Amino acid sequence: MESSTRDSWTTLCADHELDYLASRTPFERGRGLALDESYRLAHLPLVAPDHPRVIAFREGRYYRRGRHERVYSLGMPVADQPLRRSEAYGALEAELKASVLAPKIAWDIVELRRHKLHATICGSLSVGEPPSLDRKQRDALRALGPISAELRGLFSGNVNCGRLYLRVYPEKRDGMNMFRRIQQVLGRRETLLYVVGVYNLVDDLDAAEAAILSDLIARWWDRPILRLQLDALWLLGATDDLVLGPSTVETIPLA
């Protein structure tokens, strides 16, 4: 799906209407950033399989070396070419590559995921088999029409510490967060955090590296990366959280 620029008058949700501020990594002066358990279970086996802190599996969790049964989710696709044409994105990536963080970022994974970038709106719709979206739900999604959104960055959360994201600010139409409207149409839990995972760390950060990342996140917090107009969503089925393995995609129209 190609994304295009939306008229500047479109109203977007603001930070106080979303969960990004409350969900940030709590960086502490003089302390490093340790890859957390969820990251070491779901992500580290895929980006640094020989790392000694990889959690290969855990009883009661369906991950086995980062892989699992096919899980289907509905998400916002981010087309590769518009993102790479963004001057802001280019500047952000150049700053990362020039920083002391560069050796601890899995750049090969960034390249592998270029055409799979997305922000999950409705997660875990079904496991094993695709969910059944009925005609009423599909018609309701189509009736929404194109939805605007803006990517801003950079973001590190308080879960999956080790993954770095771009934040998504969805359109607010008639006072309604349009991503929550999508969740309502599908009868799913309403959420206020939508992120595009782009970069993965391959190791913990020491105190100096963590301070650099914290500063970079603060300086880029309000900087727009890319404005999108979404004409369709992805129904994505994947066997790992980075979508590195086999995947299936159905395009769900919004217009």
Structural domains counted in the chain: 1
Asked if residue 75 belongs to a domain, the reply is yes
CA distance 133 to 142: 12
Asked if residue 3 belongs to a domain, the reply is no
Distances (CA, A) of 188 to 70, 71, 171, 179, 191: 19, 15, 19, 11, 9
Report helix, strand or coil for 77. Answer: strand
Q: Is 160 left (phi over 0), alpha (psi -120 to 50) or beta?
A: left
Here the CATH number for the domain that contains residue 130 is 3.90.1140
**What is the predicted pLDDT for the residue at 6?**
44
pLDDT per residue rounded down to tens, the chain (255 residues): 333 444 556 899 999 999 999 999 999 999 999 999 999 999 999 999 999 999 999 887 789 999 999 999 999 999 999 999 999 999 999 999 999 999 999 999 999 999 999 999 999 999 999 999 999 999 999 999 999 999 999 999 999 999 999 999 999 999 999 999 999 999 999 999 999 999 999 999 999 999 999 999 999 999 999 999 999 999 999 999 999 988 988 999 998
Asked if residue 5 belongs to a domain, the reply is no
Q: What is the DSSP string of 208-232?
A: HHHHHHHHHHHHHTT-EEEEEEESE
Please give the torsion angle defined by the CA atoms of residues 166, 172, 177 and 181, in that order, rounded to the nearest 10 degrees.
-120
Asked if residue 223 belongs to a domain, the reply is yes
Per the structure, the complete domain to which residue 176 belongs is given by: 15-253
CA distance 148 to 199: 24
Asked if residue 1 belongs to a domain, the reply is no
Asked if residue 8 belongs to a domain, the reply is no
Asked if residue 55 belongs to a domain, the reply is yes
Asked if residue 2 belongs to a domain, the reply is no
Q: What pTM was computed for the model? A: 0.94
